[in-house]
Amino acid sequence: MNNKIINFVKKKNKSKIISLTAYSKNIASIIDKHCDLILVGDSLGSVLYNFSSTKKVTLEMMIEHSKSVRMGVIKSLMVVDMPYNTYRNTKEALKNAKKIISRTKCDAVKIEGGKKVYQIVKTLIKNKIPVMGHLGILPQSATNFKFKGKNTTERNNILRDSKLLEEAGVFSIVLECIESSLAKKITKTVSIPTIGIGASSHCDGQVLVTDDLIGLNKISARFVKKYSNIGKKINDAVLKFKQDVTKVKFPSKKHSY
């Protein structure tokens, strides 16, 4: 584990962990100052490319966006999602995780699942590739997007998976759309930080998709809080530009050679 990851893990029970997604350099460089962790999430498939699911996101897409994000991240831990069908077995996972790390210079990869990915997680960690886990709703395999932890079997499985992931060596786990008391139980049970998205304030930290938080992505999920309406700000700026060009106010002498 590198020092950044060790310091990240130490935040558990000390201070809340701040995480956000980034898909490009410009956003990454703005949020880096305020974040502990920046995730290049495969949510970019729906947010940027209008895909109906993250299944269509490719390794090349993740690598290219991550290379851009890398240029904007100085202090935060940078984690890259391994996309769908890139970690179906240990051999495939290792080859692709190595490719992500070497081409993007990120600090860690994130993979979805519990028991099913146990051996894969162990293999990556044995090969010195830090891994972040992801439980609850798993967008790469989900058939519906209803929150998890409604019945005892589901709760027991998720709790079991969190312990398995910890044992396999992940340094942190994203909990996506998990019932509050289960998120609390997991957070108390494991010694590594839990990062919630729709999983209550009991988690050690929170993550949101930045485009949702700034109001650039049209989404109305319960777990999203819009902190800004950047879409309107862009609209206003573009409108002013249009008016200036139309009235021959732009470019002025100051902006000409």
Q: Half-sphere exposure of 67 toward its Cβ, with a 13 Å CA cutoff? A: 9
CA distance 81 to 139: 12
- Judged by CB, which is closer to ligand KIV: 39, or 203? 39
166: annotated active-site residue = no
Site for ligand KIV, rule CB under 6 A: 21, 39, 41-43, 81, 174, 176, 197, 207, 209
Catalytic residue among 112, 166, 176, 179, which? 176
Q: How far is the CB of 198 from ligand KIV (least distance, A)?
A: 9
- Judged by CB, which is closer to ligand KIV: 42, or 107? 42
Q: How far is the CB of 240 from ligand KIV (least distance, A)?
A: 33
- Residues in contact with 47: Cβ distance below 8 Å, sequence separation at least 6, in sequence order: 23, 209, 211, 212, 217
Residue with nearest beta carbon to ligand KIV:
41
What b-and-e string marks burial along 205-218, b requiring 16 or more CB atoms within 10 Å of the CB? Answer: bbbbbbbbbbbbbe
CA distance 251 to 237: 15
- Judged by CB, which is closer to ligand KIV: 219, or 250? 219
Q: How far is the CB of 248 from ligand KIV (least distance, A)?
A: 44
CA distance 184 to 204: 9
- Judged by CB, which is closer to ligand KIV: 123, or 172? 172
Are 100 and 106 within 8 A, CB to CB? yes
- Judged by CB, which is closer to ligand KIV: 131, or 174? 174
Tokens encoding 243: 């008016």
Q: How far is the CB of 134 from ligand KIV (least distance, A)?
A: 6
Q: How far is the CB of 81 from ligand KIV (least distance, A)?
A: 5
Residue whose pair of structure tokens reads 């992801």 in the numeric block: 134
Residue whose pair of structure tokens reads 């996309």 in the numeric block: 83
Tell me whether the omega of the peptide bond preceding residue 83 falls within 30 degrees of 0, making it cis.
Answer: no
Cite the active site residues.
176
